[in-house]
Amino acid sequence: MNDLAPPLPPIPEGFRLPFHYGALHNVGIDYLVPLERVNGHLAGTGLSPAVLDGKACVSFNYQLYFAQFDFGPSVTQEIELNIIAFPTASSSLLPDLTYEQFAHGVDQTKLRGNWRIQVACDAPIAIRAGKMLFNEPKFPAWFKTVMPSPNADPGAVWKVECLAADLTPDGNDIIRHDKPLFSFEADLLGLLPAPVSIAPFTEYGTDPAQRTLAAPLNVYQPYQHYTLDGRGRERVGLTVEDPSSPVGRDLLALTEGAHAVGVWSYQSPTVAAQNRPYYTATKP
C-alpha cells in the first residue's frame, strides 16, 4: 500500500456508486469568453480554466434521465452551468487544443472537465445525492421543455425553460413557482452533426473539507456535435428572465456579448415500440 496516496472519498450511507442511468437525453451549449470572467469562480479550487482558441469555455447542459431503484423509478431533469477547467498541477500533461478539437474528443487525458457553478434540478433525491456525494451547488427548480422525439413530428429544436422552485419542509418534494429564471433555444435544423467521442466527462467538485474531487461520467455511445461556424446568434438563444437570481447573475456575467460556438447532444436509443393496430378477419 502506498502510504502517500490519499484514500478514496467516502460514500455517504444510503448511496451507491456508480450511479447507473437507464436512459439519458442531453443537450449542451458552449461559449468562448474572456479568461478574466471565470477566474473568480476557480479561486482556491486548485483548478485553472481550459484555454481554447485563446479563451475560456463556459458550457451549460440540460439533462433528462431515468434511473431504477429498489423502491421504484426516478425521472430527473437538471441544467448544469459549468466552466471547463483542469487541475493546475497537471498542466504539463495537457495537449494544446482548439475548441473544435476539444469538442470532438481529441483530448483523451480527460483532465479538462466541468467545474459546476450552478445546477438546477427538479428531483429532491438527485439534489441530495449531488450535494452529499460531490458537493454540487444544486438547487430546486422545474422545467418546461420541447425536444426532438420519435413520438412527435420530426424536428431538431430544443427549447428549455427553467423555473423557480423550493423544497418542501421535509425535503422530499418540490414546490413549483410560476417564476421563470432563464430559458434557451437551440435550432439545429439543417446542420450536419459529427459523431464525437467526448465522454467520459470529468465532473469536478469538492468535499466538505474543500478538497477537489474528480468524477468521470461515462456515456457509452457517441454524442453528436454541431459546429455553428459563426451562426451562434441565429441558432441559439439564451434569455435570463430573472437577472437577480444567482444562476441568472452568473449566466449574464459569463456570457455577456458572447454567442454559442457549438452544440452537442445525446438521446438514448429507443428499445421497444408499440405499433399501430390492425383489423383482424371477422369471417373465416
- Residue boundaries of the structural domains of the chain: 23-267
Q: What is the pLDDT of residue 139?
A: 97
Q: What is the pLDDT of residue 154?
A: 84
Asked if 168 and 174 count as a contact pair (C-beta separation under 8 A), the reply is yes
* Contacts by residues 169-177 (CB-CB < 8 Å, ≥ 24 positions apart): 171/124, 171/128, 172/124, 173/124, 174/122, 174/124, 174/140, 174/141, 174/142, 176/142
Encode pLDDT of 185-239 as tens digits.
999 999 999 999 999 999 998 887 888 999 999 999 999 999 998 899 999 999 9
Residue 233 in 3-state DSSP?
Answer: helix
Mean pLDDT of successive 10-residue stretches along the chain, which has 284 residues: 75 90 96 96 94 97 93 92 97 94 94 97 95 93 95 91 97 96 96 94 87 93 94 95 97 96 95 94 84
Q: What is the pLDDT of residue 10?
A: 87
Q: What is the pLDDT of residue 282?
A: 87
Q: Read out DSSP for 83-149?
A: EEEEEGGGGGGPPP--HHHHHTT--TT--SEEEEEEEEES-HHHHHHHHHHH---EEEEEEEEE---
Rounded Cα distance, 141 and 156, in Å? 25
Q: What is the pLDDT of residue 65?
A: 97
Residue pointed to by grid coordinates 455577456: 256
The listed CATH number (2.60.120, 2.40.400, 3.30.160, 2.40.40) that belongs to domain 23-267:
2.40.400
- To the nearest whole number, what is the mean pLDDT of the chain? 94
CA angle 105, 16, 72 (to 5 degrees): 100
| Nearest Cα to Cα of residue 33 among 58, 64, 11 | 58
| Nearest Cα to Cα of residue 224 among 103, 107, 112, 111 | 103
Q: What is the pLDDT of residue 209?
A: 80
